[in-house]
A and B are shown apart, each in its own frame.
Chain A
């Protein structure tokens, strides 16, 4: 069962990190569990190196606005740490929980030396102070170990299931990826899911 109605989830990261797939898989599991799910996303030009967000809203009764109102996120899942902060400042509240990947993807302004990127210590400190609960995991390293950094998105989904914030589990994940992944892909994604579970 979902803990409140609706549950508002934001999956964030940088274009190309697999945000869309993570939101689709998660939403698919929840639709199969009988919920109304609304996902709000943008793709195309907006993803070229920019910040990306998927807004997921899980409800017992109806579809909802594809944009979550400010301050109303219940769960933030971030494939990139500073993006977790960015989303927190706009959509966070003291009850928000955060699951974030530790691995930074530097904005171009940081690469050029014009902008500063906050240290992971400072980021963690903000999470501790301004969220109800947070998990900060190195999903990218685990994904590299599995052979492909892109798998960090599924590792995060696995980790999310282990946090018990949503009614999703390994079986539901397996059923969901069976729908349109080849056997090879299912295997590696399941391994990523399990790796994520192990990180919580």
Chain B
């Protein structure tokens, strides 16, 4: 039985994302959907495993906008629905979200955004709290695992109360952290979908769901938001800890609450500093804020990414400054808290140290000094493609073809593990020249390809993953074809949404819960658009490089090269070697060879190591995935491959 179905009152170790999923189950959610993205994926993934037991429909949608539309339909039909995405996903969904918040919702609809301060697994540290303010909907930010569960459950009730979307924001350090949670009751399963559109346009529960008449509906939305602010004055997730009259008031939310609490303890400031911990950060509860601001002379706002909370607290303060007196504010705006990157207890302790003029030292100076000396002998560990990763072979082919072509082809990148192809030579051969949002590589390539009239004659290529292809690259490919932007799009098809944990996508014949679904073929889509299509195995270096070179020469049409090879970490491949690889030490000429250590210096597979003593390449059998590609790159044929015994 899934951990997610644990009985009421049981204490369970939940990952933040599982706690959110459990909260949704306790609210009786019927539809859950999203698009995978770190750190959000486990919410939908864990729900996908309990669909039968909980009368639940779970879907990995094509992209976040579609996911929100699917969730909205359930809400319109009076069911409770959950829609989950990472911070970038909210941008994708925002067009629909803007209209949805204007039309309002029916069954509880909770939009969960899991954000990534410090961009631990993202290409930006963008944040969506401002969407809540801009779109005038409530924003909840749980700080603990228990709150993640309880607040998700309550968010559905709030959504139904105000007939609108409630946004719940998590961060990597909550979503991917784990902790004790006491389970609540799972409700009876008796919901029925019913979409009523017979009432008047102004009837939020029985009329057609539209945003018109705009001004009267906008007025109602704002009234509901004001009521929400009142409600937030007394909810359990907003509370104060500390002395009655603190010297400093810390205002914080989310994982930053745990950092702040720890930092206060580290500096021994429990009797001097109080924490106003907010579980609801938009709209702010004015009376609660006023009461605690009044009690302290100094105020520190602890938050990650932008100064959202700080701005809103200051705006509120401006309205009551005359009444509660002059305060000194510290936070991101004055540099007390860093303006970028994620926080941790040490950073908050440093901020407190600045205000209180305390120097905090975790260890004695001589120990700290010794550690600094050790740091110097620790080699940097850069990210790289895994052993057996198809992307390493794909970039090898792309580079070989670019070299053969000789016209300085430009490669536009996209979002996935293959984004590593944009980094310095250590990762992916320094091939990719642009990297932005999902699907943008092909859109940018389409633009570049039209610049030949202005003298940009380089061949234009784009790389794009299989899941990314469906998510947002199809309109770009249509654009390229329709406008005669004759680029070569390379689809790196590794058979799943690999980076986030192999969630299925429309190209596969199974759904989120393992159900059989019709697969939509990338090659057929591309042919339908009018592109010339070829499919290669990137591990076959000779054929793939030749095909790509041929495509680059063709200037009169859009070409799509699909490089099909399953991800080395996929469940069907992981731990199973196709070949046993070895370096024949007699054939390897080491530093004498004219190849200049092509295998270890350029190919850079974690399993193919330069032995400094022997001055030869050597295969690390523990790490080697047995893909066999290095066999093809050695000019001396010193790397041998033999079929591995069946495993």
Contacts and interface: CB of A to CB of B under 8 A. Distances in A.
A111 B262 contact: no
A111 B622 contact: no
A66 B259 CA distance: 8
B256 to A, nearest CB: 10
Contacts of B104: none
A163 interface: no
Nearest to A51: B381
Chain B interface residue number, banded: 35 or more
A179 B13 CA distance: 12
A89 B371 contact: yes
B379 A110 contact: yes
A-B complex: 9 closest residue pairs judged by Cβ atoms: A71-B362, A44-B38, A44-B121, A66-B177, A49-B384, A115-B379, A65-B258, A107-B381, A45-B121
B383 A50 contact: yes
B295 interface: no
A48 B362 contact: no
Interface stretch (A32-40, A154-162, A167-175, A184-192): A32-40
Contact of B349 (A37, A43, A49, A69): A69
A63 B499 contact: no
Contacts of B605: 111
Given A105-B606, A122-B377, A40 B121 contact: no
B252 to A, nearest CB: 12
A108 B426 contact: yes
Interface string B101-125: 0000000000000000000111000
Interface stretch (B325-333, B505-513, B541-549, B607-615): B607-615
A124 interface: no
Contacts, number: 203
Nearest to A30: B13
B396 interface: no
Interface string B160-183: 000000000000111011111000
Interface string B260-281: 0111001000000000000000
B173 A49 contact: no
A111 B606 contact: yes
Contacts of A65: 255, 258-259, 261-262, 344-345
A41 interface: yes
Interface string A56-70: 000000011111111
Contact of A126 (B121, B179, B345, B374): B374
B177 A40 contact: yes
Interface in B181-240: none
Interface string A1-35: 00000000000001110000000100110010000
Interface of B: 3, 11-13, 38-39, 120-122, 144-146, 172-174, 176-180, 255, 258-259, 261-263, 266, 344-346, 349, 362-364, 367-368, 370-372, 374-375, 377-386, 417, 419-420, 426-427, 499-500, 569, 575, 597, 600-601, 604-606, 608-610, 612, 620, 622-623
Contacts of B374: 85, 88-89, 126, 130
A94 interface: yes
A140 interface: yes
B382 A82 contact: no
Interface in A127-146: 129-130, 140, 144
Given A37-B179, A37-B180, A118 B377 contact: yes
Contacts of B609: 106, 110-111
Given A27-B13, A130-B367, A45 B38 contact: yes
Contact of B383 (A48, A88, A92): A48
* Residue of B11, B178, B386 contacting most chain A CB atoms (<10 Å): B178
Nearest to A86: B378
Contact of B362 (A50, A69, A116): A69
* Residue of A31, A45, A122 contacting most chain B CB atoms (<10 Å): A45
B577 to A, nearest CB: 12
A51 B39 CA distance: 18
Contacts of A89: 371-372, 374-375, 378
Nearest to B39: A44
Contacts of A36: 179-180
A119 to B, nearest CB: 10
Contact of A94 (B344, B367, B427): B367
B383 A118 contact: no
Contacts of B620: 106
A107 B604 contact: no
A46 interface: yes
Contacts of B427: 108
Contacts of A88: 371, 374
A148 interface: yes
B178 A38 contact: yes
A114 B646 CA distance: 37
A103 B120 CA distance: 27
A149 B604 CA distance: 22
A120 interface: no
Contacts of B420: 48
Nearest to A113: B610
B261 A37 contact: no
A121 interface: no
B51 to A, nearest CB: 18
B284 to A, nearest CB: 24
Contact of B178 (A27, A45, A51, A107): A27
